[in-house]
Chains A and B, each alone.
Chain A
Amino acid sequence: MEAKLKQELIETFGERLTKAAKMYLDNCSRCGLCIEACHAYASSPETRYTAVGRAQNIRRLYEEYFKKGKIAKKLNEAVELDDHWMEKVYETAYTCTGCRRCMTYCPFGIDTGVIQGIAKMLLITADQEPKTLTMLADMSIAKAKTIEKTKENFAAAAKNLEAEVLQRWRSEGGEEVVPLDVQDANVLYVALAGKHSIIPAAAIMNAAKEKWSLSYFEAVNFGAFVGNPAKTKEIAGRIIEEAKRLNIKEVVICECGTAYRVMKHMSGEKPFKVITFAELIARYVEQGRIKLDKSKLPAKVTYHDPCQIARQGGIYEQPRYVLGQLTDNFVEMTPNRQANWCCGGGGGLVAMGEKDFRMKSAKVKADQVKATGAEVLCTACENCHTQLSDLNEHYGLGVKVEYLSDLTAKALVQD
């Protein structure tokens, strides 16, 4: 490794050493409670797939470059940064989905996400980060500049979805079925690129007679996946500006866990509320604004808590409340809620491909789903949906993987 790059990497590391980061790097007692908390280790028991193993790759650099005392360095196994160690840094960043299950078992509450963030930033500085994630983040940023030229085509595509939305909910004449640019709307719904992320949501919001507007931007934030705070902010900023321009009351994030976490918890103060679409559906049901027909879903159903909206966002009960209105045949997977196993697809792994690792590291998830005996596996995150669908195929689980929004839209009762 060239001396100049090494110096840049040490400086990058130093810039990430907040008080919290130092506390997480200083305070591990090596108790090992995090070890079996990781789905990757539980599925494939190797030290490199433990939270402490991954953190040690960063902690040992911290000892070398930011701590004093020769004996302490030796005892704490300080290491020099070189090309070989950058491979360890990569493992820290990209064998972890950022689900933070380990954090809930750690007696010090060590946030592995912060340590993983250092690893990701080191990789960016060394130009060794996964280029797919950077490409996607750069595309999202460029969209802020190209959007004016593509708005018309996007609006035409949204118009073309009308027939499929109307199949799920017949709106009254004169109403926009997929509205855009609605000033003073109650809801700015931020979808993903696919129509499956728009059609059910449109039907549900129309059924609830919501004053809503579809965002021109996609919810997902690849700046967060690649661990680049500046890009994360820029990508989220496009949606924030759109919501401000339209004087929106609530930004509702589609079924995308990372998009929700970034907009709700990582984007500072905003003049609007941020909620998940699962919360909005629960509100509509509770307020009697939509009615659901349980006969539409006779199969045995279970629910996978997406880590980013559940463990990291506290959204546990709202999806279950909605499912309670959709079926009498619901079964919990064990463990669930805060202790639920990660699906194994987070942290950018689905976008990166990485299918061998995703399947190997999520066997525990597959076993957990199989043990429920459910026929329908419902979730509220597209990343989880993709990973669970891959697990379903790989392990022959025999379930149908469904979005909460789609199950809800199919059960809407029209008087």
Chain B
Amino acid sequence: MSDYAADKVLDLKGLPCPMPVVKMSQEIGSVDVGQIIEVHTTDPGSLSDFPAWAETSGNEVLGSEQGEFIKIFIKRNN
């Protein structure tokens, strides 16, 4: 069970390089500042990519969960 209440869920499972980050950067504007996107992915690299992307875009990775697939919770900050 997640600690974060997502405002939007993005299913990015199985996408080729570099589409998960590209899609995320396109979708972040679809939620309001302060809202949370829950990303579903199968890419191990996303666990490093999304924090680095958040660092450069001024957004925030709140946390992640690993199970059948990876969930990453991203808060829009600007």
Contacts and interface: CB of A to CB of B under 8 A. Distances in A.
Interface of A: 132, 135-136, 138-140, 142-143, 145-147, 149-151, 153-154, 156-158, 160-161, 191-198, 216-218, 220, 222, 256, 350-351, 353, 382-383, 385-386
A150 B15 CA distance: 21
Interface in B50-78: 51-53, 55-57, 64, 66, 70
A154 B44 contact: yes
Contact of A146 (B19, B51, B64): B51
Interface stretch (B2-10, B20-28, B32-40): B20-28
A193 B51 contact: no
A389 to B, nearest CB: 8
B55 A145 contact: yes
26 contacts: A132-B22, A132-B25, A135-B21, A135-B25, A135-B53, A139-B52, A139-B56, A146-B48, A146-B55, A150-B47, A150-B51, A153-B47, A154-B47, A157-B66, A160-B44, A161-B44, A193-B20, A193-B46, A194-B14, A195-B42, A195-B44, A198-B44, A220-B18, A222-B18, A256-B17, A350-B16
Contacts of A351: 18-19, 22
Say what secondary structure dominates the interface of chain B: helix
B18 A146 contact: no
Contact of B51 (A132, A149, A353): A149
B interface, how many residues as a size bin?
Answer: 20 to 34
B48 A147 contact: yes
Say what secondary structure dominates the interface of chain A: helix
B29 interface: no
A138 B56 contact: yes
A194 B52 contact: no
Contacts of A150: 47-48, 51-52
A193 B64 contact: no
B48 to A, nearest CB: 4
Given A142-B52, A146-B55, A157-B66, A194 B43 contact: yes
Nearest to B46: A193
A160 to B, nearest CB: 6
Contacts of B20: 193
A393 to B, nearest CB: 13
Nearest to B44: A157
B24 to A, nearest CB: 10
A151 B53 CA distance: 15
A157 B52 contact: no
Nearest to B55: A142
A143 B52 contact: yes
A147 B45 CA distance: 11
A178 B21 CA distance: 24
Nearest to B15: A194
Contacts of B25: 132, 135
B49 to A, nearest CB: 6
B64 A153 contact: yes
B55 to A, nearest CB: 5
A158 B17 CA distance: 17
A149 B55 CA distance: 12
Contacts of B55: 142, 145-146
A222 B53 CA distance: 13
A143 B49 CA distance: 7
A195 B43 contact: yes
Given A143-B48, A149-B51, A197 B17 contact: yes
A195 B13 CA distance: 10
A95 B17 CA distance: 21
A194 B70 CA distance: 12
B44 A218 contact: no
A408 B70 CA distance: 27
A147 B49 CA distance: 9
